[in-house]
Structure 1
Amino acid sequence: MQKVTVVIPAKNEAQSIGELVGQIRAGRWVDEIIVVDDGSTDGTGEIAEAKGARVLSHPYSKGNGAAIKTGARHAIGDVLVFMDADGQHKPSEIPRLLSRLSDGYDMVVGSRTSSGQANFGRGVANRFYNWLASYMSGQKVKDLTSGFRVAKRSLFLQFLNLLPNGFSYPTTSTMAFFRAGYSVGYEPIDVGRREGKSHIQPAKDGIRFLLIIFKIGTLYSPLKLFMPASLAVLLLGAGYYGYTFFSMGRFTNMSALMFTTSLLVFLVGLVSEQITTLMYKDTDQRDSGNLDRDDVD
């Protein structure tokens, strides 16, 4: 029988953490509840501990991703359940996500509906992330940024070095599982209203999420990102050359610059592809080693 650990990163979530932990314990679906107190100043850790959670405290705020890493390292469970501490995720849906692992999935993500998005802008952004991730991975990605998910701990630990300390660990972990050839499934979930104040800052985190778009590409298959960009610059240079040739009868420096830029973008993508392959080399070797040991046994 596999043990299950719930990992909840929390920063100043005193309004919701107590009820969340209480609901999880009442359901008796899991063996351990870990609340990672990421430098809270409102007593979040004390409330969670009083409700029966195992609390791991950061001396200062390190970020959502860092809290996830801490919880994953210290968990006793063979399966990890990740949830947000703001009250949006419903503990009653944990069994549904866990049951999907028996269907052959290595990670199951709670997929939010359009009505479950925080606001219209966030909904549009998430749909764009999902489309980009689907293009990069060649797989249908229904919710790239959902923080409600379950995963096999032994596999999740392989990618801790790739996860950012801040936002967005869901994006990175999903793409890492796809890149390594693991199976990722989706289960529809309902999302409630958030308790307390969101830690996301639209201006600052908007730029950060924009960088995530490029990170998705470079993390999974850089050439899928760099090749279209290289081709676009090449076609632009060819079009400009055609214009200057027929209007002025000459080849201009601007056309040369565009052709050179196109080549450089392609070469950067090629090098990035090799680096990405090396990033996952250790994971592939560990998998081969595990298969070899299984054969011996």
Structure 2
Amino acid sequence: MAGLIQATTLGGVSLPNIHSLGTDSTRAPLRVLVTAERRDIDPAGPSVSVVVPAMNEAKNLPWLAAHMPAGVAEIILVDGRSVDDTVEVARALWPDVRVVTQTRRGKGNALACGFHAATGDITVMIDADGSMDPGEIPFFVDALVAGADYAKGSRFSAGGGSSDITRVRSWGNWALNALTNTVHGTRYRDLCYGYNAFWTRILPVLDMDAGQIGDDSDERKWGDGFEVETLINIRVHTAGLTIAEVASFESERLHGQSNLNAVSDGLRVLRTIAIEKREVLNGQRLRSLSQNVTAPAPLDLEPLGAASLVEELEDLDQLATTEDSALEALPEQVQRERVESVIDLREEAEIRRPVALQVDSEVRAPRDFAV
């Protein structure tokens, strides 16, 4: 792997694991194979900040705290203006917790606020609802220490799985995943899963605006919603970062209801795929990256038929915008019925994490490593 690494700088800090700018469709993510063994975070290793977006999650936080591995340096709870005892419960569970109030609305804004508050060497993003096992955090840390810049959780890698995903959500994730891999030259297996980790020093590459309290706090900006995972995944690839996929198991939410709307949020993801590609083709994304990363000049994209592709993506963007607006204009009861009709198609299947993995040759490619 050393031959693929090019030294560069980010904000004056040497980053030996960042590739040159531009996309490379031949560069597959590393595959990290995990076992059932659980352990704490090595206190002698890099410090870890865990960002937990939470809105009315008081009943779920005790489970999260009970399963958090020892050795986490910092817990950052980003409060989405909860009306229950989320903040009080968090402070009782973690006396040293850092509570940050998000500046706008949406999961994306909550993550941006938490990322900018993180002081650890590594930042981990995890949901508060109990669907993601904090006991897997050491595996994400292992992937980063082994050479990755960004560790992407995957329910569809060997050893991963889900007891929560519905048939329709699975189809939607597959379609959006395939579209992103085709349009952006990525090779992700699980685009829309939000359990990820990265070296905190690469935060400028993500280009996420946290904003300030009281500054357009009621306005929802692009990237503030559930499209944030797709936005991050595309941007780390565009920046040429080394990406590892870590097998992860998703469980059902413990208490409460998810704010995810399969239809409208799916359309926002679709828009994200289009917008990010358009920004790459017109040079806007690379210009933004160049403010933080010293690297070779961007590739000449004209031979790729950029002009015609931009026109197609603009049409796609317009379609997604129109459909998204139309859905949001529907009465809340109608939206709920549409989502419930999707949930009714759910497959009832029990999925268990394997005690040990049977490693196949396809997963254990030459660039793969096991932890």
For normalisation by structure 2, the TM-score amounts to 0.59
CA shift in 2, pair 1:157/1:196, >3 Å? farther
Q: How many residues matched?
A: 234
Deviation at 1:37, TM superposition (A): 1.2
Deviation at 1:117, TM superposition (A): 4.4
Q: Match of 2:293, as an amino acid?
A: D
Match of 1:121 in 2: 168
Distance, in Å, in 1 between the alignment partners of 2:105 and 2:239 is 27
SS in 1 for 2:89: helix
Q: Match of 2:165, as an amino acid?
A: A
Deviation at 1:62, TM superposition (A): 1.6
Paired residues of 2:103 and 2:113 also in contact (CA < 8 A): no
Q: Match of 1:101, as an amino acid?
A: L
Distance, in Å, in 1 between the alignment partners of 2:257 and 2:170 is 16
Q: 2:89 aligns with which of 42, 47, 51?
A: 47
Distance, in Å, in 2 between the alignment partners of 1:64 and 1:286 is 25
Deviation at 1:200, TM superposition (A): 2.8
Q: Say whether residues 1:18 and 2:62 are aligned partners.
A: yes
Q: Say whether residues 1:171 and 2:230 are aligned partners.
A: yes
Q: 1:62 aligns with which of 105, 116, 123?
A: 105
**Farther off after superposition, 74-83 or 132-141:** 132-141
Distance, in Å, in 1 between the alignment partners of 2:202 and 2:109 is 18
Greater percentage in helix: 1
The two structures, once aligned, show a CA RMSD in angstroms of 2.2
Distance, in Å, in 1 between the alignment partners of 2:267 and 2:183 is 16
Distance, in Å, in 1 between the alignment partners of 2:196 and 2:111 is 12
Distance, in Å, in 2 between the alignment partners of 1:161 and 1:8 is 17
Distance, in Å, in 2 between the alignment partners of 1:106 and 1:77 is 15
Deviation track 1:233-256 (CA, whole Å, cap 9, x = no partner) reads xxxxxxxxxxxxxxxxxxxxxxxx
Q: 2:267 aligns with which of 193, 204, 210?
A: 210
Deviation at 1:198, TM superposition (A): 2.8
Q: 1:287 aligns with which of 293, 299, 314?
A: 293
CA shift in 2, pair 1:211/1:55, >3 Å? same
Q: Match of 2:194, as an amino acid?
A: G
Distance, in Å, in 1 between the alignment partners of 2:293 and 2:91 is 37
Aligned positions of 1:156-167 closer than 5 A: 156-161=203-208, 164-167=223-226
Q: Say whether residues 1:278 and 2:284 are aligned partners.
A: yes
Deviation at 1:59, TM superposition (A): 7.3
SS in 1 for 2:59: helix
For normalisation by structure 1, the TM-score amounts to 0.72
Query: What is the identity percentage for the equivalent residue pairs of Structure 1 and Structure 2?
Result: 26
Q: Match of 1:105, as an amino acid?
A: A
Deviation at 1:285, TM superposition (A): 4.1
Match of 2:130 in 1: 87
Distance, in Å, in 1 between the alignment partners of 2:246 and 2:122 is 17
Aligned positions of 1:165-204 closer than 5 A: 165-200=224-259, 202=261
Q: Match of 1:4, as an amino acid?
A: V
Match of 1:33 in 2: 75
Q: Match of 1:127, as an amino acid?
A: W
Match of 1:136 in 2: 183
Aligned positions of 1:216-231 closer than 5 A: 216-219=273-276, 221-222=277-278
Distance, in Å, in 1 between the alignment partners of 2:85 and 2:98 is 12
Match of 1:8 in 2: 52
Distance, in Å, in 2 between the alignment partners of 1:274 and 1:59 is 32
Paired residues of 2:49 and 2:73 also in contact (CA < 8 A): yes
Flag structure 2 segments of 5+ consecutive residues without an equivalent: 1-44, 210-221, 296-371
Flag structure 1 segments of 5+ consecutive residues without an equivalent: 223-271, 290-297
SS in 2 for 1:178: helix
Distance, in Å, in 1 between the alignment partners of 2:226 and 2:270 is 12
Match of 1:153 in 2: 200
Paired residues of 1:39 and 1:57 also in contact (CA < 8 A): no
Deviating above 6 A after TM superposition, structure 1's stretches of 4 or more consecutive aligned residues are: none
SS in 2 for 1:280: helix
